[in-house]
Chain A
Amino acid sequence: MPLPSYALMEASVYAPEVFARGLPATLRAEAQPEDRTTAVPAADAAAPLLSLQGIGLSFGGVVALADIDLSVRPGEIRAIIGPNGAGKSSLINVISGVYRPDRGHVRLDGASYAQVPTQRLAHLGVARTFQNLALFKGLSVLDNVASGLAYRVRSNFAGQVLGIGRSRGEQRDFLSRADQILEFLDLTAIRDRLVGTLPYGLQKRVELARALVAEPRLLLLDEPMAGMTASEKSEMADFVRAARDRFATTVVLIEHDVGVVMGLSDRIAVLDYGRKIADGAPDEVRNDQRVIDAYLGVASDNEDGAGI
Chain B
Amino acid sequence: MAAITNDVPSSLVLPKWIAPVLLLAFAYGVVPLIGSSYLFEAILLPFLALGLAGVGLNILTGYAGQVSLGSAAFMAAGAFAAYNFNLRVEGLPLVGSIVLAGFVAAAIGIVFGLPSLRLRGFYLAVSTLAAQFFVQWALTKFSWFSNNSASGVIDAPRLSISGFAFDSAVGRYLFALTVVSIFTFLAYRLVSSQTGRNFIAIRDNETAARIIGIPVLRTKLLAFAISSFIIGVAGVIWAFAYLRTVEPDGFDLDRSFQILFIIIIGGLASIRGAFFGAALIVVFPLALSRLGGFLLGDVFDSGVLDMSQRIVLGALIILFLILEPDGLVALWDRVRRRLLFSWQST
Contact = CB atoms under 8 A, between A and B. Distances in A.
Partners in one complex: yes
Interface of A: 96, 98, 118-123, 127-128, 130, 134-139, 143, 146-148, 150-153, 155, 157, 160-163, 167, 170-171, 174, 186-187, 189-190, 192-193, 198-199, 201-202, 210, 214, 232, 235
B4 A189 contact: yes
A139 B194 contact: no
A200 B87 CA distance: 60
B1 interface: yes
B193 A119 contact: no
Contacts of B222: 157
A161 B40 CA distance: 31
Interface string B55-74: 00000000000000000000
Nearest to B201: A136
A177 to B, nearest CB: 13
B268 to A, nearest CB: 9
Interface in B150-186: 186
Interface in B99-150: none
Given A135-B204, A201-B1, A151 B193 contact: no
B330 to A, nearest CB: 12
B210 interface: yes
Interface in B200-220: 200-201, 203-205, 207-216
A302 B3 CA distance: 51
B5 A130 contact: no
Contacts of A120: 213
Nearest to B3: A189
Nearest to A96: B211
A189 B1 CA distance: 12
Contact of B189 (A139, A148, A163, A235): A163
Contacts of B205: 134-136
A190 B4 CA distance: 6
B246 interface: no
Contacts of B210: 118-119
Nearest to A198: B4
A47 to B, nearest CB: 25
Contact of A210 (B6, B189, B194, B212): B212
Given A136-B205, A157-B193, A167-B193, A202 B1 contact: yes
A171 B189 CA distance: 13
B190 A161 contact: yes
A199 B269 CA distance: 23
Given A136-B201, A155-B194, 14 more contacts: A98-B207, A98-B211, A119-B210, A123-B213, A127-B211, A128-B211, A130-B208, A134-B207, A134-B208, A136-B204, A138-B203, A139-B200, A157-B193, A161-B189
Nearest to B200: A138
A244 to B, nearest CB: 20
B163 to A, nearest CB: 29
A121 B210 CA distance: 9
Given A135-B205, A137-B204, A235-B1, A119 B213 contact: yes
A92 to B, nearest CB: 11
B259 interface: no
Given A122-B212, A151-B213, A160 B195 contact: yes
Contact of A232 (B1, B190, B208): B1
A142 B271 CA distance: 21
Contacts of A153: 194, 198
Contacts of A214: 212
23 contacts: A98-B207, A98-B211, A118-B210, A118-B211, A120-B213, A122-B211, A135-B204, A135-B205, A137-B204, A138-B204, A139-B201, A146-B197, A147-B214, A150-B212, A151-B214, A157-B222, A160-B189, A160-B190, A186-B3, A187-B3, A192-B6, A193-B6, A199-B4
